[in-house]
Amino acid sequence: MPSQRRMRAFLYIALAGFITLLFFTSRARHAQEPDARSIQDFYHKTKSAMEGTRIGGGSRRGQAVVGTEKIEIDEDDAIVAKAMQERLRKAEQMAKNNANAKAPNKPDAPEDIVGVGSSAHGQNHLDKGESSETEEHHAVLEELRSILKKSPIIIFSKSYCPFSKKAKNLLLNDYQIDPAPYVVELDQHALGPGIQAELGERTGRKTVPNILVGGISIGGSDDIAKLDQEETLIEKIMSLAGKRLTVTKHSKSA
């Protein structure tokens, strides 16, 4: 006849298997909408029941055993209980991970953000837009992301536009900016019309030049000329680009 110690160990193992079977059966029924709270309740109730069995029923059975055998039974109880708790903890964590993986509206990763402002005052950053409807639109978005990595300051221009020429002259000749502003001549770019349309949609500015600092539009030639006259252009640029560049103004010759 099996000893009381073995019978007790078999009982806990059978209980652990039964609880695990119930847990995964319940998980399969709710696979579409996993609820982390119900899993936590299941875990804590099971843990409490185990502790109650150990404290209540275990003590009465333990009274029939004396000396080292009682100590060994208590140690077996602790080992089995610890193993069950560990299995339940892993099952709970697995269910949480599955629930998080299926959760909707996950935030965009930082590398998927296109930082383009929405006004000449640079008030808003532009997040990644909706899913591309065409391959051309996707190509435009990818090209924009690539352009924004060229320099903290991007000048979207057209080679024949006098206002673009004025803006480029101010930023490239009147100021020493390191790294230098990156100029995109939209009339010479294969995706120029698409890029200009996307900038218009995202920044609210549909004309050139469109000057972006740190991914935020500060307007066109008139806007930066006004900042230059007010001697606040450097301050504006530094507030948006931070320590990624240095800006100084060339002194005018006498």
Question: CATH number for the domain including 209?
Answer: 3.40.30.10
Residues 20 and 43 in one domain: yes
Residues 164 and 74 in one domain: no
- Which residue matches tokens 């770019």? 189
Lowest mean per-residue pLDDT among 176-185, 229-238, 239-248 = 239-248
- What pLDDT score does 108 carry? 34
Q: How far apart are CA 243 and CA 196, in angstroms?
A: 28
| Residue where a domain stops, chosen among 49, 81, 101 | 101
Between residues 227 and 90, the one the model is more confident about: 227
Residues 21 and 96 in one domain: yes
Residues 96 and 139 in one domain: no
106 occurs within a structural domain:
no
Instruction: Give the residue numbers spanning the domain of 192.
Output: 111-249
| Residue where a domain stops, chosen among 101, 134, 160 | 101
Residues 78 and 194 in one domain: no
Q: What pLDDT band is residue 186 in, cutting at 50, 70 and 90?
A: very high
Between residues 128 and 179, the one the model is more confident about: 179
Residues 126 and 196 in one domain: yes
Residues 128 and 73 in one domain: no
- Which helix (H) or strand (E) is 162 found in, with range? helix 162-169
Average pLDDT over residues 154-163: 97
Q: Six-digit token pair at 31?
A: 């696979």
CB 151 within 8 A of CB 178: no
Residues 26 and 92 in one domain: yes
Q: Give the count of domains, the chain.
A: 2
Residues 61 and 131 in one domain: no
| Residue where a domain stops, chosen among 101, 122, 154 | 101
Q: Six-digit token pair at 200?
A: 């218009």
Q: What pLDDT band is residue 127 in, cutting at 50, 70 and 90?
A: very low
254 occurs within a structural domain:
no
Residues 188 and 141 in one domain: yes
Phi, psi of 157 (to 5 degrees): -135, 175
Residues 163 and 245 in one domain: yes
